Chains A and B, each alone.
Chain A
Amino acid sequence: MTTGTVQFLNHEGELTSHPDYEAEISPDGLRKLYHDMAWSRRMDAEAVTLQRQGELGLWPSLLGQEAAQIGASHALGAADYVFPSYRDHGIALCRGVDPLDLLRMFRGVTNGGWDPAEKNFHLYTLVIGSQVLHATGYAMGLAKDGAQGAVLTCFGDGATSQGDVSEAFNFAAVYHAPVVFFCQNNQWAISEANERQTRVPLHQRADGFGFPGVRVDGNDVLACLAVTRWALERARSGEGPTLIEAFTYRMGAHTTSDDPLRYRDGEEVAYWNLRDPLARLRTLLEARGWADGAYFDTVAAQCEESALDLRGRLRATPDPDPGDIFAHVHADGHALVDEERARFAAYQATFADAAGRGE
């Protein structure tokens, strides 16, 4: 098992190699990685702006975590299934989830909003750590069925303090479940630094449960891709779970409601700014002559256009129908819900009547 931090692309944009893992380094593949990181960053920035303009109630920004998310996404196969947290917008985009669906949830028009089975991408989970157990159970099911895929589940460093996450680790180990635990250690759980959550490096937790844990440079998209690919392959071939700790940094606020100036200093942010995941890949692409200024301009223009389109569609998103309060609560109906729905409709109608009579 590796003990150091796996890295392929250092923060100066220089390529190295690793004895244990293989990374994607074809120019085409690298450009695709760059494109997806750029789009997730642009989409995220758009969402932050839209929140500031009152179009969204809240937004958890992914800024700084693009390499972790896009790297992990590119390791996924079509049959693999993802159980995300609430900040995994980059992975959602790579899975083909319409970003409008992500925004709709934070606009407050839905508490979920997409069919998880359509893109093999589960709903966002706001209760910290819950999804890690769901992922493990889903993986147990895959294994029982003798199915092809594996499961990737995402959570933060704070989540590792939850009992649910430790229980998931144990179930996965005991049942040899084909699941990859992808922890994005962005150093902070709202205002609490890593040492408030753990006194051992997180990837070492896996040891005690009996499966491998690897720390990767979470701002190196190639390392994230290579190690996740390796871990998913292990899972698919029946070798059980892996914990990946993507060592990264949340550059922005926890959410748009948060004020990080209250708990962390500018020096730390500046340190991580130098380790920006997009900048280092761009440096590599330029140094090798695999992309030029025109290419980056084109990507930026495409992202701009997509962001504009997203903005327009979000602004046109209507509020839900009040009757939706009673929709989809049960599969087989429920007499009380039906009764309340009918009474609610009658009550709402009294306002419509009043309006109709011009009162």
Chain B
Amino acid sequence: MTVQKLPMVKAINESLRHALAADPKVLVMGEDVGRLGGVFRVTDGLQKEFGDERVLDTPLAESGIVGTAIGLALRGYRPVVEIQFDGFVFPAYDQIVTQLAKMRARSLGKVRLPVVIRIPYGGGIGAVEHHSESPEALFAHVAGLKVVTPSNARDAYWMMRQAVGGDDPVIFFEPKRRYWDKDEVDPGATPLPLHRAVVARPGEDLTLAAYGPMVKVCLDAARAAAEEGRSLEVLDLRSLSPLDFDTVQTSVEKTRRLVTVHEAPVFFGAGAEIAARVTERSFYHLEAPVLRVGGYHSPYPPSRLEETYLPDLDRVLDAVDRALAY
């Protein structure tokens, strides 16, 4: 593959193709990932190319998928499993939390569990219930798991390669509303470390910290704010566990104001952790309290209300106004 402009689905597809070709121990598993190529076509063509011993259509059982992936990993395989939608990961939650996350520590590091769990997540595609949720905090809260989420196709390609290449369990959240957004992917490039946050847009007056689907919203907000003479810096966190606090700290100590933005409910969310850390690390640099923009403490609404529920440019800019008013 040469440098190409790819939508995120295709970028992940290429990344998995690379992983399958490079290492015979890599497996792709999940519901409908084979013949159909996944409901989002992320695994399109992989079974045809690598056969059904490498790309497995599994029974409809998430606990089964993750539980057997653990067993396969114990046997030296490197399974990359797909959970079809965010809201359907919970039958597997027990296996992920009580087994996958803890086995390495329990074995005093003897056991390696290189299992990647891909979860298309988040709203904005007009889906029915359980198809738009953002459960990332539930996983980031669990020790033993790494939790990452790309915001664009280029990162998706590289972060998947790194996740599959690593020896730890990784929960890989794919922002489904960005699946069809294109970006340039250069397989010959040198990627950033998997858990490094990046400055997606530099600025002086305030930092917006976001990840996954909300990075684009924040970039749009920063562009809109620039027209009013405000310079917003946008961070793409990329990894929630571990979270690159150094990059956050550097940015906040420069701009002195921070707004966190995610789709998941604000209450007990990623933004709360970031706000607490920033208060600990950079208290004397702050000109305003850290403000959080995110979902409400209510079930994800039916699709006709999701535009109201999801943070948009206006809600981000409203928080920016409030932070700058201090």
Contacts and interface: CB of A to CB of B under 8 A. Distances in A.
Interface of A: 57-58, 105-111, 126-128, 158-159, 161-164, 189-192, 196-198, 257-258, 262-263, 319-320, 322, 324-326, 329, 334, 336-337, 340, 344, 347
20 contacts: A57-B128, A105-B128, A126-B128, A127-B91, A127-B130, A128-B88, A161-B64, A163-B91, A190-B39, A192-B31, A192-B35, A262-B35, A320-B302, A324-B301, A325-B296, A325-B301, A325-B305, A325-B309, A326-B296, A336-B297
B59 interface: yes
A295 B198 CA distance: 70
Interface of B: 31-32, 34-37, 39, 57-61, 63-64, 87-88, 90-91, 126-131, 267, 296-299, 301-306, 308-309, 315, 318
A196 B309 CA distance: 38
B290 to A, nearest CB: 17
A107 B128 CA distance: 8
B91 A164 contact: yes
B175 to A, nearest CB: 18
Given A57-B127, A262-B36, A347-B318, A128 B309 contact: no
Nearest to A130: B91
Contacts of A159: 60
A58 B128 contact: yes
B57 A191 contact: yes
A192 B308 contact: no
Contacts of B298: 325-326, 329, 337, 340
A126 B299 CA distance: 15
Contacts of A334: 297
Contact of A192 (B60, B63, B90): B60
Given A108-B303, A319-B304, A162 B296 contact: no
B303 A158 contact: no
Contacts of A127: 87-88, 90-91, 130
A109 B60 contact: no
A44 to B, nearest CB: 17
A189 B31 contact: yes
A64 B286 CA distance: 64
A340 B304 CA distance: 20
Nearest to A157: B60
A343 to B, nearest CB: 9
Nearest to A318: B304
A105 B64 CA distance: 30
Given A161-B60, A263-B36, A322 B297 contact: no
Contacts of B90: 127
A329 B299 contact: yes
B305 A324 contact: yes
Contacts of A109: 302, 304
Nearest to A321: B305
Contacts of A340: 296-298
A163 B305 contact: no
Given A108-B306, A111-B128, A164-B91, 9 more contacts: A127-B88, A162-B61, A163-B63, A189-B31, A192-B31, A263-B35, A263-B36, A320-B302, A320-B305
Contact of A336 (B63, B267, B305): B267
Contacts of B131: 126
B296 A57 contact: no
A110 B299 CA distance: 12
A70 to B, nearest CB: 25
Contacts of A347: 315, 318
Nearest to A58: B128
Contacts of B302: 105, 108-111, 320
